[in-house]
Amino acid sequence: MRLYFVLTIASLKMYFRNRQAIFWALFFPMLIMLIFGLLNFDQFSPPDVGFIDNAKNEASTRFRDVIDDGDDPLLDLKIEDDEEFLRDELRSGDVDAILIIPEGFGEPDNVSTVRAIFDSRKPQEQGITETVTRDVLDSLFLDIANVPDEFRVESRFEIAPAFIEGEGEGFRGFLVPGIAAMAIMQAGIFGVVFSLIRFKTGGVLRRLQATPIGPSHFLVGQMTTRLIVTLLQTYVLLVVGMLALRVTIGDSSIINWIDISIMALFGGALFTVLGLAISGWAKTEDVAAPVANIVTLPMMFLSGIFFPIEVFPDWLGNISQFFPLTYLADGFREITVDGASIVTLGPELLGLGIWTAIAFAVATRVFRWE
Amino acid sequence: MTETSRNLASAATGGPIIAVDGLTKRYGDLVAVDGVSFTVRPGEVFGMLGPNGAGKTTTVEILEGMRRADSGSAFVGGIDVHRDPQKVKSIIGVQLQSTAFFDYLSVAETIKLYGELYGEKVDVDAILEEVELTDRRKAYFNHLSGGQKQRMSIAVALVNKPQVLFLDEPTTALDPQARRHMWELIQRIQSTGTTIMLTTHYMEEAEELCDRVAIMDRGKIVQLDSPDRLIEQLISTGFTATREVKLATLEDVFINLTGRSLREG
């Protein structure tokens, strides 16, 4: 026990004296998070708009079809009947705006007032929604009325905007937990792979083998260090996300933070063991570096860190939902965005657990001390 | 090589401190160690000489409990190396041929940590002084010179006050000054009663340090005796050196010109 403690302290000392490791584990992901968070990538996809059709006539169907044009929609319509439900969605940030089509929409001698509700914190989405609606209404009117330009009556349609203040965090709320997950993966795999291969090729592990206790105790100390670093990364990145990007962590209760810590430890253990497996298999850094990249790069882009898995084609999404990083990022997000409790995150924990078991089996099979 | 300390240690334990009998180790078709037998007396410096690939390192690593022999027996300090390698490891000190210690741990921290691995509270200052690294105690291993790295390696090998110290090519790649320093260190360690087994392919090193040497070739010991006796035996066969023996060597010239003090840092 004392030995374990001594080796862990030594390991921690070594880790925190290595400025490069600290940079890659903490400052680099923080930088990425701030850059992407401040750029606000929400604008690159069409706004999500809740849509209530009270007319259900030819005109309103046409209106819908023009906006929701198959592969390349102008707005992402979410068709609903319940205005209260949509208002909740708008408040929580799941939709960016609401459009309500009145009864008798587009009928002759009837001024149709389309009501719109916007999130006052999303002026960009408001602008896009308004412009698109106006343009489509104009062209629709021409189409329906089939009248020449000079006879157009501008007032046939009106848009009545209203505002509520949303609490949704949009892309930032999505990004921050994802970056924390990515940082754990990168530090786990690269940190372990490079230090272990150096220890292996340099003869550090062999020298430990000449002592009565052998190198396995040392590895346990290293693992403990990695888990401590994992927790530190998670806390630092989430706190920076809270302060700099105004992201909330669930209800910010101590329970949320405990749940996050548990999720982080599951992820940290998985990626450390995965790093062990890679460094056990690879004999030199030249072999290990590409392998580590082949493992991490696809996950970085396909596990829903920078953009949601839903934007991928179905076949790809069906594969990437089983990636280790997807489980960790989703788990974090459930807690930070929805305030979910760890007890409801069984699927994510199970996914991480199964991957850990696989990585452990590989690691014990391929690992050599020299 | 002090006669008294050797006799003291010998008297205390009686029989040989290392006993090897019929040791064999194969790697595929290659017989790296081929039925080697010898004994080492307590307190002596025992040398293993031989060209590269002769089986010196493999033999030593079997004795250190780092490799398993295919057949034969080996006892160190009365402990069966095959049956209880961990126990052997706890009574010996090991300096490996090419070795490294942790990055980002200082010399003093590393020595202390290794002491913990043996469950020993180490007097770091005393060990540092013994190997002349006191002024480098805060340096990282990677920042040490070649000679300092070797002395650090010996310092770590001394943390458990070993009965037997194994040194695998302790002076390879060192300059003449550093090599002479290493010789003095090895002689100082022997004078405390520690048995030393070393491998080398420098003959003048073996002559200077070893009480007895075993000459290995192709996995077998071809001769075993004291350096003086081996030379006498050769001369008695009518051998004459091709070159006239001079009263000094080129190395003496070098040392005379450049001094004995260490050049490092």
Between B182 and A71, residue with greater pLDDT? B182
Shortest distance, CA A241 to any CA of chain B (angstroms): 31
What is the mean predicted confidence (pLDDT) over A186-211?
89
Sorting pLDDT into bands at 50, 70 and 90, what band is A155? Answer: very low
pLDDT at A149: 52
pLDDT at B48: 94
Residue B200: closest CA among B191, B210, B190: B210
pLDDT at B159: 95
Q: Beta-carbon neighbour count of residue A213 at 10 Å?
A: 18
The pLDDT averaged over each successive group of 10 residues in chain B (265 residues) is 45 78 93 95 94 91 94 95 94 90 93 92 93 94 91 94 95 88 94 95 91 94 92 86 76 82 67
Sorting pLDDT into bands at 50, 70 and 90, what band is A154? Answer: very low
Between A203 and A112, residue with greater pLDDT? A203
What confidence tens digit (pLDDT) does each residue in B215-224 have?
999 999 999 9
Q: Which two tokens stand for residue A193?
A: 């792979």
pLDDT at A146: 59
What confidence tens digit (pLDDT) does each residue in A305-333 have?
988 888 888 899 999 999 999 999 999 99
What confidence tens digit (pLDDT) does each residue in A27-39 have?
999 999 999 888 8
pLDDT at A39: 80
Between B173 and A16, residue with greater pLDDT? A16
Which candidate in B97, B107, B116 is best for mutational testing of the A interface (most A CBs within 10 A)?
B116
CB A137 within 8 A of CB A63: yes
Give chain A positions within 8 Å (CB) of B99.
203-204, 206-207
Closest A-chain CA to B105: A14
Give chain A positions within 8 Å (CB) of B119.
3
Size of the A and B interface in Cβ pairs below 8 Å: 65
Interface residues from chain A to B (CB-CB < 8 Å): 2-3, 6-7, 10, 13-15, 17-18, 198-199, 202-204, 206-214, 217
What confidence tens digit (pLDDT) does each residue in A272-292 have?
999 999 988 888 888 888 999
| DSSP-derived 3-state class of residue B24 | strand
pLDDT at B2: 46
The yes-or-no verdict on residue A157 having pLDDT over 70 is: no
Buried b (16+ CB within 10 A) or exposed e, B188-206: ebbeebbbbbbbbebeebb
pLDDT at A260: 96
What is the mean predicted confidence (pLDDT) over A92-120?
81
- CATH number (1.10.357.10, 3.90.226.10, 3.40.50.300, 3.60.20.10) of B3-258 reads 3.40.50.300
Give chain B positions within 8 Å (CB) of A220.
none
Q: How far apart are the first and last CA of chain A?
A: 26
Query: Does residue B143 belong to the interface with chain A, where contact is any CB pair within 8 Å?
Result: no
pLDDT at A164: 79
Query: Does residue B102 belong to the interface with chain A, where contact is any CB pair within 8 Å?
Result: yes
What is the mean predicted confidence (pLDDT) over A69-98?
84
Closest A-chain CA to B63: A210
The answer to whether B105 contacts A207, with C-beta atoms less than 8 Å apart, is no
The answer to whether B96 contacts A206, with C-beta atoms less than 8 Å apart, is yes
Q: Beta-carbon neighbour count of residue A239 at 10 Å?
A: 11
Which candidate in A208, A211, A213 is best for mutational testing of the B interface (most B CBs within 10 A)?
A211
The answer to whether A14 contacts B89, with C-beta atoms less than 8 Å apart, is no
Shortest distance, CA A205 to any CA of chain B (angstroms): 9
| DSSP-derived 3-state class of residue B19 | strand
- Among the partner-chain residues A2, A3, A211, the one whose CB lies closest to the CB of B89 is A211
Sorting pLDDT into bands at 50, 70 and 90, what band is A74? Answer: confident
d(CA B84, CA B108): 30
Tell me phi and psi for residue B78, to 5 degrees: 80, 0
Residue B101: closest CA among A130, A204, A196, A40: A204
What confidence tens digit (pLDDT) does each residue in A249-270 have?
888 889 999 999 999 999 999 9
What's the longest Cα–Cα distance across chain A? 97
Q: Is the sign of the CA dihedral A225, A228, A230, A232 positive or negative?
A: negative
pLDDT at B5: 46
Give chain B positions within 8 Å (CB) of A199.
100, 102
The answer to whether A10 contacts B100, with C-beta atoms less than 8 Å apart, is no
pLDDT at A104: 79
Mean pLDDT of chain A: 86
Q: Where in chain A is the domain with CATH 3.40.1710.10?
A: 43-164
Tell me phi and psi for residue A363, to 5 degrees: -60, -45
Give chain B positions within 8 Å (CB) of A3.
116-117, 119
- Among the partner-chain residues A6, A15, A203, the one whose CB lies closest to the CB of B100 is A203
Q: Quick one: what percent of chain A has pLDDT higher than 90?
A: 38
Residue A76: closest CA among A104, A42, A102, A103: A42
Which candidate in B103, B163, B166 is best for mutational testing of the A interface (most A CBs within 10 A)?
B103
The yes-or-no verdict on residue A353 having pLDDT over 70 is: yes
Task: Enumerate the H helices of A187-215 as residue ranges.
Answer: 192-202, 204-209
Give chain B positions within 8 Å (CB) of A212.
86-87, 89-90, 117-118
Mean pLDDT lowest among A138-147, A346-355, B186-195, B224-233: A138-147
Assembly ipTM: 0.86
CATH 3.40.1710.10 fits A43-164, yes or no: yes
What are the extents of the domains in chain B? 3-258
Give chain B positions within 8 Å (CB) of A209.
66
Which candidate in A206, A219, A220 is best for mutational testing of the B interface (most B CBs within 10 A)?
A206
Buried b (16+ CB within 10 A) or exposed e, B212-228: bbbbbeebebeebeebe
- Among the partner-chain residues A3, A18, A208, the one whose CB lies closest to the CB of B116 is A3
pLDDT at A60: 83
| DSSP-derived 3-state class of residue A181 | helix
Give chain B positions within 8 Å (CB) of A12.
none
What is the mean predicted confidence (pLDDT) over A78-105?
86
Query: Does residue B118 belong to the interface with chain A, where contact is any CB pair within 8 Å?
Result: yes
